[in-house]
Chains A and B, each alone.
Chain A
Amino acid sequence: MLEVRDISWQAPGGEQVLDRVSLQVKAGGLIAVTGPNGSGKSTLLKIIAGLERPAGGEILLEGEDISSLDVTARAKKGVCLAFQQPVRFKGFTVGRLLELAAGRPLSQEQACALLAQAGLCGREYLSRQADSSLSGGEMKRLEISTVLARKGRLLLFDEPEAGIDLWSFSGLVSVFKALKRQGGKSLLLVSHQERLLETADEILVLEKGRITEQGPPAKVLPRLSLSCPGCGRREAVPL
């Protein structure tokens, strides 16, 4: 289980991006965070993964305080983050990146299964370079596959829908439903998409660095369009 207690973070310019944010994600649970651009959603995930240091607060994983651990140590504890903007690597094949994520050699079948879960099918991808030769959507699905390969305890997804086409988006919704069904993992998802938000046990609305609303999708989603334009939208994701 993940417990975030009173996390605050200031931008280098002094802007208060997160202001005493607290949340819990139970084992087997899926919490979604939504809110306007700039409300601190991505920063929250980066702080949990150890990419940013908070000004205050604590992060507990299975009751252990991991606030002082660096990125690598948290990853080894089972914290995995799918970046909003996937990183490209010159000289890394897709297969190599998946093996680094898995921490062990993968058979073609295993690697293909990971890609297929994120809607990226075909063995030919394994030998392709994870660089600018892949489209944004392909990189995004590879990014999600690296997190699935980790078999971590806490999976963090930062806008997994961004850059994914409509067809793959449907598959993405299935991925989160399946992860939830499998149980055991804590899932924290940042999203603007209603169909992804609907898969969550609970939705948190973050505005100006504070949680302004919290509850099950049936309660929160109907009010989102009024309180937070752009959140929980149902229109097509960008191709």
Chain B
Amino acid sequence: MNSITKKLLETVAGWKGKWEGACSLRENGACVEMRSTRFVEIAPKEGLPGLDIHILPGCAGETVAVPACITDGGIDDLVYNDFHIAAGARATIVAGCGIHTENGEPARHSGIHRFFLGPGAQVRYVEKHAGSGDEALRAISPETEIYLEESAQLEMDTAQLGGVGRASRSTKAVLAAGARLFLVERLVTQGREQAKSAFTVRLDGAGAAAELASRAVAREDSRQSFSSRITGNAPCKGHSACDALVSECAQVDAAPSLCARHAEAALIHEAAIGRIAGEQILKLRTLGLSQEEAEQAIIEGFLS
């Protein structure tokens, strides 16, 4: 593992020198560290780049880390990771990708993750993306598919922290009866960065519920677009909220949509886009913060 990777891992996966539990680290398209544990089996996928990760019955909250890093331009990394979580198992999965470029060539990471949660399984999934280095294009395109069986629960916390020139994010979920999906996405773009994020959620079972929250900060000349589509096919609850802060010449599009296919599908969407309120800055300045400190505090709070 090189020094750039270590730094990227700190940013995207909270790495502090070693992994405690099961892990697989991908560096420049190759696996450099892999470890299974009693309750987590990690194996290379046959015929495709990527992993099959099995979280076994009895797993009670173990953390599994599967981050990926690219440390220079000219690399186009594609990975397929499938997560199979046994009925009743509980786990935290830390993924994420960091890209650093310094030879002027573009780099891209496309991570295709599928989650299969058995009945009653509970997973917290944390995924952060970040880029650093020269002016070359750094692109990250995560595709996530989620299948939740009866009463399974997935809490997904995703963030794009900055430095990613192009992002195309797709998240699809299908929920059976009593399943729960909580999804928070935070996107920060600046300069000429562009990010597109699309959610598609199908609530198929009675009592299924999905809560989607997107927080976007777009600055300078950046562009973001957000779309969500929640379909209720049963007595269920779905809520989508998109909030965006826009400054300078940035642009944000938000298009939430709801599809009720059952009379007892309770679906709500909200979208609010605006600049940082001047009164918020003034209030913080009366507390002794400078204009810049106030803006930063407001953005940090908004993204928290």
Residues of chain B with a CB closer than 8 A to A87's CB? 277, 279-280, 282-283
B284 to chain A, nearest CB (A): 7
Q: Is B290 in contact with chain A by the CB < 8 A criterion?
A: yes
Of the candidate stretches B25-33, B65-73, B295-303, the one touching chain A is: B295-303
Q: Is B304 in contact with chain A by the CB < 8 A criterion?
A: yes
Q: Is B143 in contact with chain A by the CB < 8 A criterion?
A: no
Q: Is A112 in contact with chain B by the CB < 8 A criterion?
A: no
Contact with A along B18-49 (1 / 0, CB 8 A): 00000000000000000000000000000000
Q: Is B1 in contact with chain A by the CB < 8 A criterion?
A: no
Of the candidate stretches A89-97, A196-204, A215-223, A226-234, the one touching chain B is: A89-97
Residues of chain A with a CB closer than 8 A to B243's CB? 90
**CB <8 Å contact, A49 and B286:** yes
**CB <8 Å contact, B285 and A72:** yes
Which residue of B215, B277, B285, B303 contacts A71 across the interface (Cβ within 8 Å)? B285
Q: Is A51 in contact with chain B by the CB < 8 A criterion?
A: yes
Q: Is B288 in contact with chain A by the CB < 8 A criterion?
A: yes
Q: Is B289 in contact with chain A by the CB < 8 A criterion?
A: yes
Q: Which residues 59-101 of A sit at the B interface, judged by CB distance below 8 A?
A: 70-72, 75-76, 79-81, 83, 87, 89-92, 96, 100-101
**CB <8 Å contact, B301 and A76:** no
A152 to chain B, nearest CB (A): 9
Q: Is B291 in contact with chain A by the CB < 8 A criterion?
A: yes
Q: Is A150 in contact with chain B by the CB < 8 A criterion?
A: yes
Which residue of B215, B279, B284, B290 contacts A100 across the interface (Cβ within 8 Å)? B284
Q: Is B287 in contact with chain A by the CB < 8 A criterion?
A: yes
A129 to chain B, nearest CB (A): 9
Listed in ascending order, the chain B residues whose CB lies under 8 Å from chain A are 215, 243, 277, 279-280, 282-291, 297-298, 300-304
List 29 A-B pairs, Cβ < 8 Å.
Answer: A49-B286, A70-B285, A71-B282, A71-B285, A71-B286, A72-B288, A72-B289, A72-B290, A72-B291, A75-B286, A75-B287, A76-B288, A79-B286, A80-B286, A80-B287, A83-B286, A87-B279, A87-B280, A89-B298, A90-B243, A91-B215, A91-B300, A91-B302, A91-B303, A91-B304, A96-B301, A100-B284, A100-B287, A150-B287
